[in-house]
Amino acid sequence: MKVEFGNIQDLNEIKIISDQTFGFNYLSESDLLNYFHSDHSFFTVAHDSGLLVGFSLFIVGDFNCALKEIGTEYHMLLDTLKKYEIIQVRKTTAVHESFLKRGIGTSLIEFGITSKKADLYLSLVWKRTFHAPVIEIITKLGFKPFCEIGNYWSEDSIKKSYNCPECGKPPCTCAMLVIAKIGKDR
């Protein structure tokens, strides 16, 4: 298995894995293109025998960049993070179902975190009733709970018309956990 930075040629395979994992159009082609063309985001991808088998999406910038990604309506909840100059947000990680439990998710996240220095690392985690291994991964990497946002994807699921794999048709009622780790240089 090889983990590296993703590029625009990976878009279709990322879209397929995202649709299977999070529901059709949770990350639309337009969303993915915007992330690929942004100076504030990057993908890590894992290849096994030439096949893309997983990806992670990260955003790096100042507080306003992180707030824009999480949602400006949560400004008061996240206000204490303003003191950090560079914040990295792990937005999402997905591994093709045929390649689960092989350490791919861990490798994708570790590569992303160690590739770009930040004062604060945030991980956005989908709170699910069934097992979410990303919580175990980021906990092993030293992340601690910061806050929980209820019904986080409700409006987005309605707007984009995606069915949540956890709760079904819109609106999605899942919560998002924000888990944080202070950078080593702080």
**Distance, CA of 126 to CA of 129 (rounded, Å):** 10
Cβ–Cβ < 8 Å for 118, 60: yes
19: exposed, middle or buried (C-beta count within 10 Å: 0-12, 13-18, 19+)?
middle
In the prediction, which pLDDT does 131 show? 59
pLDDT per residue as tens digits for the range 22-70: 888 889 999 999 999 999 999 999 999 999 999 999 999 999 999 999 9
**Pair 132, 175: CB distance under 8 Å:** no
What's the whole-number average pLDDT of the chain?
A: 92
Q: Residue 186 — very low, low, confident or very high, per pLDDT cuts 50/70/90? A: very low
Max mean pLDDT among 82-86, 128-132, 134-138 falls in: 82-86
Are the beta carbons of 35 and 21 closer than 8 angstroms? no
- Residue with tokens 């709760």, as numbered in its chain: 167
pLDDT at 132 over 90: no
Q: What are phi and psi of 86, to 5 degrees?
A: -120, 125
Whose tokens are 């929980």? That residue is: 148
Calculate what percentage of the chain has a pLDDT beyond 90: 78
Q: Which domains does the chain have, with CATH numbers?
A: 2-151+178-182 (3.40.630.30)
